[in-house]
Amino acid sequence: MVTDSAIKTVTLTIDNKSCTVPKGTTILKAAQSIGIDIPTLCYMKELVPDGSCRICVVEIEGGRKGGLVPSCAEHCAEGMVVYTRSQRVVEARKFILDLLLSDHTLECFSCARNGSCKLQEYCLEYGVERTSFRIGKRTPFGKGDTSNRFFEFRPDKCIMCRRCAHVCEKLQGRDVLSIAGRGFDTHISTCYDIARTDPTCESCGNCVSACPTGALSSYDQKRNYRSYEVTSTQTTCPHCAVGCQFNLLTKNGKIVGADPVDGPTNKGLLCVKGKYGSYKFVHSGDRLTTPLIKKDGKFEPATWEEALGLIVNKLTQIKKKEGADAIAGFSCSRSTNEDNYMFQKMMRAAIGTNNVDNCARV
């Protein structure tokens, strides 16, 4: 079945552009492949479509149900004619946004996600400034979950896209979050209402990174920066040898935050160290910024030339007197794989011993 569908292709038209894709491709993916952008809220490219937010609707000429289908779930078919921005599509998206705003505490000024919120972005794009449902049931204002030390959860800003729960269950494998209740009262809950300080929650923050709004937001971001104030620099997390890719966010020359990047080893995820720890030591007052050499039982700052020179001298002396196997090297799991490789190479080739180890056993 799989090979069967992989070889067959279908040709369709999206916004008057022709496009040929393998059978089984969703309209969203086909559109993306030819540079057409469709808004999404619940869609996660790593997982099967959730099909819940319905913002990604597109119009199919002559289709059933008024021809509107969620592009993240609907498969392309031969000869299909798709419009991603017809008037009906725009009206439908406006309705969804209107509904979402009808149960949303709109406080963009003070919101951590101001400038990087998908709800805000789409409302701006589709000209939905406020909800048309002026009165009616609302999720109570501001009653959030502040149990975690790195981030808070505000149900009155939650649009129930369910991304956080999917990340936690299917990608992080922790299953801390679940979808409780039904109808209007559906909400994101922790399992059995445990606090987000429970050991089950690793504080990895992947739920926060996945959240398209300010419903889950990091205190660091809330207090210190907005997305439009920072410069992103992609780099490798220095905390362990996995080599997760992330963007370090800098504001006025200081690192203020980290956002996961879709790297080959981390696929858009980070752990608590990468997300909340890695950038903090950079500006820590306790950090060593020069080598120290012990003189008369006291550490004194030294230059790199002095420090490396001392090491070379001592190692050469020991090797001469006791042989290379009197020396052992132990590298740190905080180093990157490349550094660890270089280290063992140095031990073997330059010093001449196989006594080399690393602490990465966790």
Closest CB to ligand FES among 45 and 149? 45
Strands lying side by side in the sheet with 245-251: 231-236, 245-251, 254-260
Residue 362, Cβ density class (10 Å: 0-12 exposed, 13-18 middle, ≥19 buried): exposed
Provide the β-strand partners of residue 255.
250
Contact (Cβ atoms closer than 8 angstroms) between residue 137 and residue 183: no
Binders of ligand FES among residues 59 to 78 (CB under 6 A) are 70, 72
Check binding of 211 to ligand SF4 (CB under 6 A): yes
Provide the β-strand partners of residue 331.
358
Interacting partner of 174 out of ligand SF4, ligand FES, other proteins, none (Cβ under 5 to 8 A depending on kind): ligand SF4
Burial per residue of 13-50, b for 16 or more beta-carbon CB atoms within 10 angstroms, e otherwise: ebeeeebebeebbbbbbbbeeeebebbbbbbbeeeebb
Closest CB to other proteins among 60 and 248? 60
Q: Which of 262, 167, 251, 161 is nearest to 208 (CA)?
A: 167
Check binding of 165 to ligand FES (CB under 6 A): no
Smallest gap from Cβ 50 to other proteins, in A, equals 7
Distance CA 72, CA 52 (A): 10
Report angle CA 193, 194, 199 to the nearest 5 degrees: 160
As a whole number of Å, the CA-based R_g of the chain is: 27
Check binding of 39 to ligand SF4 (CB under 6 A): no
Count of positions on this chain that bind ligand FES (CB under 6 A): 12
Smallest gap from Cβ 43 to ligand FES, in A, equals 4
Count of positions on this chain that bind ligand SF4 (CB under 6 A): 38
Helices (H), 300-347: 304-322, 337-345
Interacting partner of 1 out of ligand SF4, ligand FES, other proteins, none (Cβ under 5 to 8 A depending on kind): other proteins
Q: Which two tokens stand for residue 82?
A: 């798709």
Closest CB to other proteins among 162 and 275? 162
Binders of ligand SF4 among residues 84 to 113 (CB under 6 A) are 104, 106-108, 111, 113
Closest CB to other proteins among 55 and 240? 55
State the residues that interact with other proteins by CB under 8 A: 1, 48-55, 57, 65-66, 68, 70, 73-75, 91-92, 95-96, 99-100, 102-103, 132-133, 135-137, 159-160, 179, 181-186
Interface ranges with ligand FES (CB under 6 A): 40-43, 51-56, 70, 72
Interface ranges with ligand SF4 (CB under 6 A): 104, 106-108, 111, 113-114, 117, 119-120, 157-164, 167-168, 172, 174, 176-177, 188, 201-207, 210-211, 213-216
